[in-house]
Amino acid sequence: MAATNTSRANDLRVGSSLWLKMLTVAGLVFLLLPLPVLIVYSFNADRTVTHWSGFSLAWYGAALTNQQLWLSIRNSLFIALCSATVSTILGTLAALVLTKYRFRGRTLFQNLLYIPVVLPEIIFGLSLMILFIMIRLPLGFVSIICAHVTFQLAFVALIVLARLYRFNQHLEDASLDLGANRLQTFYYVIFPIIAPALFSAGMFAFMLSMDDFVITLFTSGAHSATLPLFIYSKVKYGVTPELNAVSTLLIVFTILGLAGAALLQKAMVISPLLKRVMACIGGAILLLLVTTSLMSRDQEVLNLYNYAGYICPGIIADFEKETGIKVNQSYYNSNEELFARMTMGASDYDLIVPSGFMVQNLIKLNMLAPIRFENIPNARFLDPAFCQVSFDPEGQYHIPYTYGSSGILYNSNVIKEPVVSWSILWDPQYKGRITMLDDMRETLFAGCKRAGVRLQDWNVADLERAYLALAEQKPLLLRYDSGMIESLLLSGASVLSHYWSGGAMRLQMQHPHIRFAIPREGVAMFIDSLCIPANARHRDNAERFINFLISPEQSARNMEDICYVMPNKTAIGLVKAEIRTMMENLVNADPTSLELIEDPGEYNKTMDSVWTRLRSQ
Amino acid sequence: MLELRNLTKTYGNTTAVFETNLTIEKGEFFCLLGSSGCGKTTILRMIAGFERRTGGQILLDGRDISEDPPYRRDINTVFQDYALFPNMTVSGNVAYGLRIKKLDSSEIKRRVAEALAQVGLTGYDTRMPDQLSGGQQQRVALARALVNQPRVLLLDEPMSALDKKIAEQTRLELMELQRRVGITFIYVTHNQTEALTLADRVAVMHRGVVEQCAKPSEIYETPKTRFVADFIGSMNFFDAVVTRCETWETELLLEDRWPIVVEQQRRLNPGQRVLFCLRPEQLKLSLVPEKPHENGLTGILRQKVYEGDLTRYVMELPGGHMITISLHNYLARNIRDFFEIDEEFMLHFNRTQGVIIPQ
Amino acid sequence: MRIRDFHILIAPPLFWLLLFFAIPLGLILLYSTSPQDIHGGVLPGFTLEHYRRLLDPVYVAVYTKSCIYAVTTTAITLAIAYPMAYFMAFARNSVKMAVLAMVMLPFWTNFLVRTYSFVIILAQDGLINTVLLKTGIIEEPLNLLYNTFAVYIGFIYGNLPFMLLPLFAALDKLPQSHLEASMDLGAGPLRTFLRITLPASAPGVAAGLIFVFIPTFGNFVVPEILGGTENMIIGNIISRQFLESRNWPFGSAMSATLVMLMLVLISIYIRFFDPMNKKNLSAA
């Protein structure tokens, strides 16, 4: 914290006018408002975040028992500790160099040191990601720590510099005069005096690391989710008051930590014994972290990369209990995102859930490992029609997971007219309350339908027409979103949503006024499959998991939870009646209205360019 | 022409300035002297308008200016850290007050040049403050204040940041300047040499109260309180009791031991406790005579320090009392070597010397 | 003898910065001029097609939009932060410390969490609307979320401390005696502010501008969480290029333009305000 100037006790009445005070208060209210809001809403009994319906502590229970949360906290702490330590050392060295020596290129070094402070984090993260991939460093703890150290360096150097400038040079001279060499002088004289500044710098670096999101997003791998990443996945894919509970716990913890640190700073000055005690405790914590992370490395793991909310959590928990294999989950929003991560080359996933066309693409690029069916006896329950499919003729590389289609989800309390056509999503009377999927293929497909062309013709002119239709629609939209549809519909922010059948069904069960319709022009059907990447490190675990999942009992359970149909006749028979009825509507739907879209191949580039243009407008 | 009536300043429970009454004459070089925390700076700031008084009045030429903000008082200040505006040149700084008054630009130019000449900085107008030495900065600060031709100029320890030699030189220049310009100067300092050299009158302050306000010679030769006596120069103190008081002479018993006689005007009562003060230069040192000498005290010489122009001797009197005597070397050159450490000698003084301060 | 120590001291940080900062930035530049391969990576070669693509009116519009957002955010943040910093700098020590602590407190809690909390505050059935509806001030809920307004709120909120702290540091440094001198010489409070205080705060303003303007371009989190369809800025497009579209060279080209912009602005800053005055930058 800045050592502030002399006391301004003055009768000049500078800075004391009423409107200044009011503005300051207003500003403070603005700054602090989110905190109590988060805390209060963490006690909200309602499942959605914005609608208050009563007091409940349920979410704290959920948060405290959330394994993923604790894992991510542990990861964050570990990374923060390591990176803060390294950056404090490096930053101090840099500060020492800048204060003691005049050398050519000093300004250049200074700029090199300070620019990271101002550089947009996204560029920082991206550039490091490129570097790591180029040198084939797997994205994980090491990459994140390296990234964090780099941007913390500048801050540490700045803080230590400020202290060093006030350092009395004569102290060092006196030490040398008395016979100590430079190292001893540093250890006995310089270090103890600047230690508080080092401590502040270290704490600051620690805090920066704990809070960092953007840079970590680009440099993290499958099993190195940090707390901010965990929070982000919650924000994007399904916000419940559990997030508020987590946040409140964080806030409370931070305040306690700050107060503790402040008290500690005072105490540290007073008692060297206390300093030693704290050092020991710190060392013990560090040791604990290191050993626990080493321990869990030896533990059997399975890195699952999937859509959020696309698998029953109970199944995962039971699998873990039964086999002792730890399942690390990460999420993606779309097939494109999945592919992007996989082609980064430094990803570490054991099990992925791509759609048909993407499977086709991955097979072409030799990025999938063939499934060893001898490890998956439960495969006999699968519907053969889904095993030999156009995108994987021999059925070697995939296990069909679910199928379904896109469609239109709507609030029947508001939409009184029948929903039969894609055109309703272009209806100006619902302006600002329509959402489309944040998915290139799905939305371009819808645009083609509106323009009366077929996406599968892979025609540039057609695509241009679709683009125009979508561009026309854009001003009517609330958002392009795939993860928050539920809360947007329930809160009334949206009334019409482009969505997938399973999620729709799940919503409909709890809120009957939310209905799902398949427009007559046709919808895109998808078959999502379980696949194992070629470079997966835990193939056996992946196959074990698949086998567990496609057993009829677990499949039935899964279907009841995620409401997507799994191609498993035996399992369907076990599903609860009302859900089965709903699913059968889809199963028995007119096959001509379900269109399966193949891999566009080269055409993908064109689609991508159109999609980027649309989103950028 | 500047009058302080019962001027008081309190901060919460502490009183910084306690009901001070002072009258400062026009054209006077007036000095507020005291150690830190005595209230001298507070008084200065109240006169300038940076602090509001808690009680009392400040009258400038008869008008009460206590409520006026600083920018409406016809008073200017030279600050201890000079407070030169870093983003303006020297002439920019000096012209600041004139620009505020919206004077004609040719007039401003003329007066700035004149002010710079007065402080000996002609040709420095385009320099920036960070290019100047401490002494030069101080002169700019002075010029900036004087150019506005205020009725009173306040100076807040302006020499405290200068080297001894430069300070001495500047002191003389300042005196000259004040005499030429004729403006009333109020000068705050903790350095008694400055006060004694520069001022027409000095107010010695201690803990918010003016202990004595008088000419430098009076302050030095006839201090009215123990604090003033001790603060200015060196002083030897004796607790004493009046044994006899006539119009032509007064007899005291020092430290219940030594009877002395002095000539002084004050009317005192026998048995009254007083403080008897002697300056080191008022004492003489000699060998112990056979007969008791008037106003003679014997003791043992403990220290002898040669200081170039004089030599200081420290004598220990019976009872542990330490007395300092200073003798000009050229007067005592021959006898100096006689005074050996740990030998017994006598100190004595003339009955016209010494100051009595009633307790 | 001294040279050896110097080399030992400077080697680790220098090496680290070169490896993890300078070289990666160089890679971005390299990628931006390389042809794209099918999977989105790069092929060896040199091409300016990605930069040419940036001249497409759609992207020019995005740059303009991002610029407008950045400028507006910076201006509003400055307008809010300046009075606050002014008040803080001239307040009594106890008040100063208290306000400083309150300003820093949110800074110590997670940024994502705070941004997300505005969803709760601004939603149709969120805090503000609920209060306004219940008290009868409005009839229909206001549309405060997933639009430009929400994005600005998010930007300003996130950037406020970064503008506030350098401003505060600069104003706090201003010696009281300068203000007194100005008043002593006849300038009233307003004149003193304009002629003395404002110029003295200029380095702080400049630092704050740099801290706010440049990062806003690259901020994609706020538009993603709080924005609607019209609020995509450069940061969003860049992140999409890498995380979805697999067009890394194009994303790199965009990134490179941001880096160049940043370098230009920083050189201007260094030219006019000597950044070796470390107190400007180390506000915390």
Residues C224, A587 contacting (CB under 8 angstroms): no
Residues A240, A49 contacting (CB under 8 angstroms): yes
From residue B330, give the alpha-carbon distance in Å to each of B65, B304, B310.
54, 16, 8
How far is Cα B317 from Cα B346, in angstroms, rounded to an integer? 10
How far is Cα A617 from Cα A467, in angstroms, rounded to an integer? 12
CB–CB contact B77 C184 (8 Å): yes
Q: What is the per-residue pLDDT for A544?
A: 92
From residue C193, give the alpha-carbon distance in Å to each of A357, B45, B80, B150.
67, 21, 22, 23
Nearest CA in chain B to C203: B87
Q: What is the CATH number of the domain that holds B304?
A: 2.40.50.100
Q: What is the CATH number of the domain that holds B180?
A: 3.40.50.300
Q: Domain of B96?
A: 2-230
Chosen for mutation from B100, B102, B137, B140 (greatest number of chain C CBs closer than 10 Å) is B100
Q: What is the CATH number of the domain that holds A227?
A: 1.10.3720.10
C178 inside 8 A of chain B by CB: yes
How far is Cα C16 from Cα A571, in angstroms, rounded to an integer? 56
Residues B155 and B42 reside in one and the same domain:
yes
Q: Is residue A543 part of a domain?
A: yes
Dihedral-angle region of residue B263 (phi above 0 means left; psi in -120 to 50 means alpha; beta otherwise)? beta
Q: What is the per-residue pLDDT for A5?
A: 40
Residues A157 and A48 reside in one and the same domain:
no
Chosen for mutation from B17, B51, B71, B81 (greatest number of chain A CBs closer than 10 Å) is B51
Nearest CA in chain A to B69: A12
Residues A477 and A612 reside in one and the same domain:
yes
Mean pLDDT of B23-35: 94
Residues B102, C188 contacting (CB under 8 angstroms): no
Mean pLDDT of C223-252: 87
Q: What is the per-residue pLDDT for C130?
A: 83
Residues A215 and A249 reside in one and the same domain:
no
Tens digits of residue pLDDT in A475-492? 999 999 887 888 888 878
Q: How many domains does chain A have?
A: 3
Angle formed by the axes of helices A539-549 and A552-562, to 10°?
80
Mean pLDDT of B227-256: 90
Q: What is the per-residue pLDDT for A324?
A: 87
Q: Is residue A340 part of a domain?
A: no
pLDDT band at B30; cut points 50, 70, 90: very high
pLDDT band at A357; cut points 50, 70, 90: confident
How far is Cα A255 from Cα A249, in angstroms, rounded to an integer? 10
Of C228, C212, C215, C225, the closest CA to residue C121 belongs to C225
CB–CB contact C245 A611 (8 Å): yes
Indicate whether B96 pLDDT > 80.
yes
Nearest CA in chain C to A484: C225
CB–CB contact A10 B52 (8 Å): no
Residues B103 and B221 reside in one and the same domain:
yes
Q: What residue type is assigned to position C159 of the chain?
A: N
Residues A209 and A280 reside in one and the same domain:
no
- ipTM value: 0.86
How far is Cα B32 from Cα B198, in angstroms, rounded to an integer? 11
Mean pLDDT of A351-380: 89
Mean pLDDT, chain B, rounded, equals 90
Q: What is the per-residue pLDDT for A289?
A: 67
Residues A481 and A592 reside in one and the same domain:
yes
Indicate whether A295 pLDDT > 60.
no
How far is Cα A575 from Cα A571, in angstroms, rounded to an integer? 7
**Residue C45, number of CB atoms within 10 A of its CB:** 8
Q: Is residue A110 part of a domain?
A: yes
Chain A partners of B80 at a C-beta cutoff of 8 Å? Answer: none
Q: Domain of A608?
A: 356-617
pLDDT band at C108; cut points 50, 70, 90: confident
How many whole angstroms from its chain centre is CA B351?
28
pLDDT band at A1; cut points 50, 70, 90: very low
Residues B302, B324 contacting (CB under 8 angstroms): no
Residues B200 and B137 reside in one and the same domain:
yes
Mean pLDDT of C195-221: 89
DSSP state letters, C145-209 = SSSHHHHHHHHHHHHHHHHHHHHHHHHHHS-HHHHHHHHHTT--HHHHIIIIIHHHHHHHHHHHH
DSSP single-letter state for residue B335:
T
Tens digits of residue pLDDT in A172-208? 777 777 777 778 888 878 888 888 888 888 888 988 8
C262 inside 8 A of chain A by CB: yes
Q: Which of B211, B230, B249 marks a domain boundary? A: B230
CATH number for C57-280 (one of 1.10.3720.10, 3.20.20.80, 3.30.70.270, 3.30.1330.90): it is 1.10.3720.10
Residues A305, A528 contacting (CB under 8 angstroms): no
Residues A360 and A211 reside in one and the same domain:
no
Per the model's pLDDT, the better-predicted residue between B65 and A9 turns out to be B65
Q: Is residue A343 part of a domain?
A: no
Q: Which of these ranges, A8-22, A342-356, B53-67, B314-328, has the smallest mean pLDDT?
A: A8-22
B77 inside 8 A of chain C by CB: yes
Q: What is the CATH number of the domain that holds A386?
A: 3.40.190.10
Residues A262 and A214 reside in one and the same domain:
no
Residues A185, A175 contacting (CB under 8 angstroms): yes
Radius of gyration for the alpha carbons in chain B, expressed in angstroms and rounded: 25
Q: Which of B207, B230, B253 marks a domain boundary? A: B230
Q: What is the per-residue pLDDT for B314?
A: 93
Residues B90, B137 contacting (CB under 8 angstroms): no
Chain C partners of B48 at a C-beta cutoff of 8 Å? Answer: 180, 184
Residues A525 and A401 reside in one and the same domain:
yes
Share of chain C above pLDDT 70, in %: 94
Residues A430 and A523 reside in one and the same domain:
yes
How many whole angstroms from its chain centre is CA A57?
25
Three-state DSSP at B206 gives strand
Q: What is the pTM of this model?
A: 0.81
Mean pLDDT of A202-230: 85
Out of B49, B69, B83, closest to residue C181 by CB: B83
C196 inside 8 A of chain B by CB: yes
Per the model's pLDDT, the better-predicted residue between A9 and A22 turns out to be A22
Q: What is the per-residue pLDDT for A128?
A: 92
Q: How many domains does chain B have?
A: 2
pLDDT band at A507; cut points 50, 70, 90: confident
Strand (E) or helix (H) holding A407: strand A399-411
pLDDT band at C281; cut points 50, 70, 90: very low
Q: Which of these ranges, A607-611, B271-275, C36-40, has the smallest mean pLDDT?
A: C36-40
Residues A547 and A574 reside in one and the same domain:
yes
Q: Which of B172, B198, B230 marks a domain boundary? A: B230
B37 inside 8 A of chain A by CB: no
The position carrying tokens 């700076």 is: B41
Mean pLDDT of A299-309: 84
Indicate whether B72 pLDDT > 90.
no
Residues A219 and A248 reside in one and the same domain:
no
Both tokens of residue A132?
Answer: 């790591």
Residues B120 and B157 reside in one and the same domain:
yes
CB–CB contact B70 A12 (8 Å): yes
Mean pLDDT, chain A, rounded, equals 83
Per the model's pLDDT, the better-predicted residue between A345 and C272 turns out to be C272
Both tokens of residue B314?
Answer: 């420290």
Q: Is residue A25 part of a domain?
A: no
Give the up-direction half-sphere exposure of residue C227: CA atoms within 13 A in the CB hemisphere: 20
Query: Which range among B120-134, C49-63, C69-83 has the greatest average pLDDT?
Result: C69-83
Both tokens of residue A548?
Answer: 């567990």
Chains that touch C (3 or more CB pairs under 8 A): A, B
Q: What is the per-residue pLDDT for B199?
A: 93
Residues 6+ apart with CB under 8 A from B311: B304, B305, B326, B327, B329, B332, B336
Q: What is the per-residue pLDDT for A291?
A: 64
DSSP H helices in chain B: 40-48, 90-100, 105-118, 134-146, 164-181, 192-198, 216-221, 226-231
Q: What is the per-residue pLDDT for C277?
A: 46
pLDDT band at C84; cut points 50, 70, 90: very high
Q: What is the per-residue pLDDT for A346?
A: 60
A55 inside 8 A of chain C by CB: no
Chains that touch B (3 or more CB pairs under 8 A): A, C
Residues A41 and A53 reside in one and the same domain:
yes
CB–CB contact B70 C196 (8 Å): no
Q: What is the per-residue pLDDT for B1?
A: 87
